[in-house]
């Protein structure tokens, strides 16, 4: 949700350039709606490459990023979420007890189901979400045009993954807000984070949690399951090597909980807990000691429960999270066995609880 390195202040132009290539002043855009300096340098290098070798494709990229800048400028012109919700709160103060901006927005978010929320979000919030989707698409287009050129492949993939993680963290925040058991005071701080991000992209009070979530998704993106004996030891080791101390503390504190174990296994194996049980039952039934990726797919058929996280498209990690979240919600509604929350929600909650302590 929060990208702590979103760039320079909205109040001052970037060093050496007051406007972008398309005449849109950088200092007119909040940090969330301007390319980061490293992204600008990368796109500049790609322009130079395409202009010299593939001018038609270079023109296509310039057109796409010009549209992205125009979208950013349009979103930034809409009233801030804080101003809109603050106005609602002021008008409600004449009622019993009054209402703060934070409470006003939290109440409006809670009044509708996630599926019905889109048309109730303030325009600035919906616009911010749309901007990051458009930015992801723009960089993915560039990655397709330049292919596997070594100088561009890894930097472009990292940019796309970072944007995807920003959208993912926003979804994790919403999942916590949708949980009736989640403490209201912490929900209020999450609302403050969301509002500040949509309005300005400034560094926020709980921004320190976003890099931890991004680190988790990044190491998972780089660690495909090996399956083997299906005990998850090698997968967990590879993920844990890329995480910090609090991840180890989370595992020590929570792995005694069967639901956490199931959510972790889904995350590591890229399979639903129902599919994991099916594979393990086959291993026992036929006396198989280890299984390969191809054998797992043959056991489960051609329609897996979750999108495979793959190196060719870093956006797949978003699909993987959303599908697990929807499955968890479905289990909750139907009182079905299996995890009722995703691993990311559990880890995020643990970090928030530790921060409270």
Longest dimension (CA), the chain: 71
| In contact, 324 and 345? CB cutoff 8 Å | no
Whether 2 has a pLDDT exceeding 50, the answer reads: no
143, 294, 347, 351 from 180: Cα distances, Å: 41, 41, 18, 19
Over the stretch 33-52, which tens digit does the pLDDT of each residue have? 778 889 999 999 999 999 99
- Kindly state the tokens that stand for 281: 């039952």
User: For 65-70, what is the mean pLDDT?
Assistant: 94
Q: How far is residue 20's CA from residue 17's CA, in Å, rounded to a whole number?
A: 7
Q: How far is residue 50's CA from residue 122's CA, in Å, rounded to a whole number?
A: 39
| In contact, 74 and 127? CB cutoff 8 Å | yes
| In contact, 205 and 193? CB cutoff 8 Å | yes
The model's confidence at residue 206, banded by pLDDT at 50, 70 and 90, is very low
Q: How far is residue 88's CA from residue 120's CA, in Å, rounded to a whole number?
A: 14
pLDDT of residue 101: 63
The model's confidence at residue 20, banded by pLDDT at 50, 70 and 90, is very low
Percentage above 70 pLDDT, the chain: 83
Per residue, the 3-state secondary structure of the chain, as one string, reads CCCCCCCCCCCCCECCECECCCCCEHHHCCHHHCCCHHHHHHHHHHHHHHHHHCHHHHHHHHHHHHHHHHHHHHHHHCCCHHHHHHHHHHHHCCCCCCCCHHHHHHHHHHCCCHHHCHHHCCHHHHHHHHHHHHHHHHHHHHHHHHCCCHHHHHHHHHHHHHHHHHHHHHHHHHHHHHCCCCCHHHHHHHHHHHHHHHHCCCCCCCCCHHHHHHHHHHHHHCCCCCCECCCCHHHHHHHHHCCCHHHHHHHHHHCCCHHHHHHHHHHHHCCCHHHHHHHHHHHHHHCCCCECHHHHHHHHCCCCCCCCCECCECCHHHHHHHHHHHHHHHHHHHCCCCCCCCHHHHHHHHHHHHHHC
Whether 203 has a pLDDT exceeding 70, the answer reads: no
User: For the chain, which residues make up each domain, given as ranges?
Assistant: 26-206, 214-356
Over the stretch 270-287, which tens digit does the pLDDT of each residue have? 999 999 999 999 999 999
Torsion of CA 63, 68, 120, 4, to 10 degrees: 160
pLDDT of residue 29: 61
User: For 120-140, what is the mean pLDDT?
Assistant: 91
| Opening angle at CA 140, ends 134 and 144, nearest 5 | 145
The model's confidence at residue 23, banded by pLDDT at 50, 70 and 90, is very low
Torsion of CA 3, 7, 12, 15, to 10 degrees: 180
Whether 92 has a pLDDT exceeding 50, the answer reads: no
Task: Answer with the residue of higher pLDDT: 32 or 347.
Answer: 347
């Amino acid at each position: 949700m929060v990208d702590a390195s979103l760039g320079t202040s909205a109040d001052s132009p970037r060093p050496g350039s007051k406007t972008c290539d398309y005449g849109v002043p950088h200092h007119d855009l909040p940090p969330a709606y301007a390319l980061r300096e490293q992204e600008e340098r990368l796109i500049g290098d790609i322009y130079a490459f395409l202009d010299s070798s593939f001018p038609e494709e270079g023109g296509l990229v310039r057109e796409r990023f010009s549209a992205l800048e125009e979208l950013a400028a349009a979103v930034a012109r809409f009233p801030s979420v804080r101003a809109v919700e603050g106005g609602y709160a002021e008008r409600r103060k004449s009622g019993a007890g009054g209402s703060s901006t934070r409470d006003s927005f939290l109440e409006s978010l809670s009044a509708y189901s996630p599926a019905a929320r889109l048309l109730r979000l303030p325009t600035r919030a919906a616009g911010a979400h749309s901007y990051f989707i458009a930015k992801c698409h723009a960089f993915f287009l560039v990655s397709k045009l330049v292919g596997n050129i070594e100088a561009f492949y890894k930097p472009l993939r990292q940019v796309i993954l970072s944007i995807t993680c920003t959208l993912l963290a926003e979804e994790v925040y919403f999942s916590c807000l949708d949980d009736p058991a989640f403490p209201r005071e912490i929900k209020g701080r999450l609302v403050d984070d969301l509002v500040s991000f949509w309005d300005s992209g400034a560094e926020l009070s709980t921004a320190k949690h976003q890099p931890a979530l991004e680190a988790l998704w990044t190491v998972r993106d780089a660690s495909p399951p090996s399956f083997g004996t299906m005990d998850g030891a090698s997968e967990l080791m590879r993920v844990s090597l890329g995480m910090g101390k609090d991840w180890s503390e989370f595992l020590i504190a929570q792995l005694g909980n069967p639901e956490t174990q199931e959510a972790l296994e889904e995350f590591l194996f890229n399979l639903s807990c129902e599919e994991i049980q099916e594979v393990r039952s086959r291993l026992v039934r036929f006396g198989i000691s280890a299984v390969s990726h191809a054998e797992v797919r043959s056991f489960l058929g051609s329609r897996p429960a979750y999108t495979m996280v793959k190196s060719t498209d870093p956006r797949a990690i978003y699909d993987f999270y959303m599908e697990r979240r929807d499955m968890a919600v479905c289990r909750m509604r139907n009182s079905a066995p299996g995890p009722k929350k995703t691993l990311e929600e559990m880890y995020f909650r643990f970090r928030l609880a530790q921060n409270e302590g």
